Amino acid sequence: MKSGLKWVVVVSYDVACKYNINFMHHITHLDWPLVTARELCQIKNMRVDWLVPKFHLAAHIDSFADRYLLNWTKNVGRTCGENVESNWSSLNGLATSVHEMGFGNRRDAITDAVLHHNW
């Protein structure tokens, strides 16, 4: 990141309004750290935008709408934020097929199924 460019990461999650509050504390917890010191440095040099998908935002407090709405966020305004979840129902059936597979085979089967959805 020596070029001066700043990475922007957009997290679209149903409860991003709560999840982001202690995010750094949770990923750097002394008993079970989820990131290395190098990764932590990279994360601190990023801008992370926490947003709530449009369908779920209606269930949140009205004052959160402006802060967590995708419409007001640069470069993601017309995104609904729900597309990741739309594949779950059909991918849940895959669980019985990959349950007893080894790690590599399971990963390949899930990747193939997800790529099929993206096609």
Same domain membership, residue 7 and residue 44: yes
Same domain membership, residue 96 and residue 75: no
What is the torsional sign of CA 30, 36, 38, 39? negative
The alpha-carbon radius of gyration of the chain (Å, integer) is 18
Half-sphere exposure of 54 toward its Cβ, with a 13 Å CA cutoff? 12
Same domain membership, residue 98 and residue 43: no
Range of the domain at 7: 1-80
Same domain membership, residue 102 and residue 74: no
> Which pTM value belongs to this model?
0.62
Q: pLDDT per residue over 54-111, tens digit each?
A: 777 777 677 677 777 787 788 887 777 777 667 777 788 888 889 899 988 988 998 8
Q: pLDDT per residue over 11-33, tens digit each?
A: 887 777 788 888 888 888 888 88
Same domain membership, residue 112 and residue 93: yes
Is the pLDDT confidence value at 1 over 60?
no
Q: Give the DSSP H or E segment for 27.
A: helix 23-27
Same domain membership, residue 115 and residue 72: no
